[in-house]
Amino acid sequence: MTEQIFIDDPYVQYANAKVLVVHDNGIELDRSIFYPTGGGQPGDTGVLRTTDGREVEISNTLKDQITGRQMHICAEDKPRLVVGDVIAMEIDWQRRYRFMRMHTLLHLICGIINAEITGCQIGLEKSRIDLNTDEKPNKEIIQAELDELVSRDISISVGWITDAELLAKPELVKTMSVQPPKGLGKVRTITIHGIDMQPCGGTHVARTGEIGKVRVGKIENKGKNNRRINVHIED
Ligand SMILES: [Zn+2]
């Protein structure tokens, strides 16, 4: 299992790791700062460098759900790395930080609208969240509430609850499409103090003020009881 550094600190942009396995198109490491595709958030991109000048560009990151190992997908086949190499990792921070802001913004929407999530997709320019509700959300009200929550600069914290605690509080699981991983004994939670708490394995900012200027886009009907809210970040 790859040690996932971003779980405890999503702000780490550089760190060292050791190469465990080299595939034709991917690298496995003992530890990683690269977030693997999941929960609607795209996998990280970046670069791996050895001290003797070899460099491998990473075009995506994926996680094997069974082994828990992360595959760092290489932009070019046959990466020039060997097992045991110690490498310096660097993620594309601008891209990742944008995803962190977008991802946290979607949690704010969960705090505003009390409905189950049926899907979400995080993008650089636009993100969307699908909610299981037959009421049409009011765009102006959502915009005003999001603006207020961002301007209050509320702190966000990462915690853990046990599987048993989660079982006793099923209302915490708002995502119908992606259930939190069970069987590890504990589940990671994201708390936006006073606004929202839910299990999530993604990367988020530390305060709502970091999200910046947001704009609520189209609100669409996507079938019975399914409302899609599109949101943008303006800078
Ligand atoms: Zn999240």
CATH 2.40.30.130: which residues of the chain? 3-91
CATH 3.30.980.10: which residues of the chain? 96-233
Strand partners, 199: 189
Distance 102 CA to ligand 1 centre (A): 10
CA dihedral sign, ordered 113, 116, 118, 121: positive
Q: Which one, of 58, 52, 64, 65, lies nearest residue 33 by Cα?
A: 58
Sequence length of the chain is 235
CA distance 176 to 154: 26
Query: Which residues are in the CB-under-5-Å shell of ion ligand 1?
Result: 200, 202
Query: pLDDT at position 71, please?
Result: 97
CA distance 38 to 60: 12
Superfamily of segment(s) 96-233? Threonyl-trna Synthetase; Chain A, domain 2 (3.30.980.10)
Distance 133 CA to ligand 1 centre (A): 20
- Cβ neighbors of 205 (< 8 A, separation 6 or more) are 97, 100, 101, 104, 156, 211
What does each of the 235 residues of the chain score in pLDDT, given as a tens digit?
899 999 999 999 999 999 999 999 899 999 999 999 998 999 999 999 999 999 999 999 999 888 878 999 999 988 899 999 999 999 999 999 999 999 999 999 999 998 888 899 999 999 999 999 888 889 999 999 999 999 999 999 999 988 888 888 777 776 655 555 666 788 889 999 999 988 899 999 999 999 999 999 999 998 888 999 999 999 8
Within 10 A of 157 (CB to CB), how many other CB atoms are there?
12
Distance 197 CA to ligand 1 centre (A): 10
CA distance 63 to 19: 16
Query: pLDDT at position 5, please?
Result: 95
Distance 48 CA to ligand 1 centre (A): 26
Q: Does domain 3-91 have CATH number 2.60.120.10?
A: no
Query: pLDDT at position 191, please?
Result: 93
Distance 123 CA to ligand 1 centre (A): 14
Distance 208 CA to ligand 1 centre (A): 13
For residue 169, the SS3 value is coil
Distance 148 CA to ligand 1 centre (A): 20
